[in-house]
């Protein structure tokens, strides 16, 4: 695991964008795994900037998102379909048929999980998976105690995760209680991993993920076992590492 530090969120986002853009430049038909939430917004902003400057072309890229809320249709304002459209897809050249996000409104959620896992396999797996980090160390929506051998599956969200995401909804009561998420096994099958974390509230989780024991109690700790994992953290998130 490589740890890269940045002085602040903006520099972290820029450094991450150079890694992602370099993958696309070297392999224009690569498969990117995408994350949502507050942390990747700066990364997407920087990638859009590079695209609009003519430095990187996403037209050959295939994408797979980590997760989606169960029960939300793609057009719902808080769906991750909408998030990706607003922050990335509408600004770049990825054809719609090359963008993949789980359907939270699928009539058979178990079948949707199987379909999504199979779609990742058919694409040849993920070349570079982008990850954020929950305060409890979750990646994707893989909460503490989720088994490492899980593929794409339905996750019951922890109260802390619901509380953290309540700011995106009118109230905590409107946050879905479950989500479809790529599992740890799927994430770890990616050829490269890129974890981003910013802010002092992530410092404890980063210390555990980088220096602690590998345990399902802190899902991000499994990244220590990946042969090509990079962690980019700002000074606040890195404050307990050194």
How confident is residue 175, by pLDDT bands cut at 50, 70 and 90?
Answer: confident
Domain annotation for the chain: domains and CATH numbers: 2-234 (3.40.50.1360)
Q: Which of 206, 180, 175, 163 is nearest to 5 (CA)?
A: 206
Alpha helices, H only, the chain: 9-26, 41-52, 80-87, 109-122, 159-165, 184-188, 203-211
Residue 119 φ/ψ region, left for φ over 0, alpha for ψ in the -120 to 50 degree band, beta for the rest:
alpha
- What is the Cα Rg of the chain in Å? 17
Query: pTM of the predicted model, to two decimals?
Result: 0.95
Catalogue the active-site residues.
Answer: 67, 136, 138, 143
**Do the bridges between strand 67-69 and strand 178-181 make them parallel or antiparallel, or are there none, so unpaired?**
antiparallel
According to DSSP, the residues that pair with 153 across neighbouring strands are 181
Provide the pLDDT confidence category of residue 168 given band limits of 50, 70 and 90: confident
> Is the confidence at residue 124, as pLDDT, over 90?
yes
């Amino acid at each position: 695991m490589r740890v890269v530090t940045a002085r602040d969120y903006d520099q972290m986002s820029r450094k991450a964008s150079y890694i992602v853009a370099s993958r696309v430049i070297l392999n224009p038909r690569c498969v990117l795994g995408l994350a949502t939430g507050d942390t990747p917004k700066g990364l997407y902003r920087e990638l859009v900037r590079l695209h609009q400057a003519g430095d990187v072309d996403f037209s050959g890229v295939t994408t797979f998102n980590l997760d989606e809320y169960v029960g939300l249709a793609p057009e719902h304002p808080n769906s991750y379909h909408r998030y990706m459209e607003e922050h990335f897809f509408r600004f770049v050249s990825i054809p719609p048929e090359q963008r993949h996000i789980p359907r939270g409104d699928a009539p058979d959620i178990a079948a949707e999980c199987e379909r999504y896992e199979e779609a990742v396999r058919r694409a040849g797996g993920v070349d570079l998976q982008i990850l954020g980090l929950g305060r409890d160390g979750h990646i994707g929506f893989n909460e503490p105690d989720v088994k490492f051998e899980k593929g794409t599956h339905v996750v019951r969200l922890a109260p802390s995760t619901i509380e953290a995401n309540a700011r995106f909804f009118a109230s905590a009561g409107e946050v879905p209680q479950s989500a479809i998420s790529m599992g740890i096994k799927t994430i770890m099958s990616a050829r490269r991993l890129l974890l981003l974390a910013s802010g002092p509230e992530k410092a404890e989780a980063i210390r555990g993920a980088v220096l602690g024991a590998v345990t399902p109690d802190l899902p991000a700790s499994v990244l220590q076992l990946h042969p090509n994992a990079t962690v980019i953290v700002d000074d606040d998130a890195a404050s307990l590492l050194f």
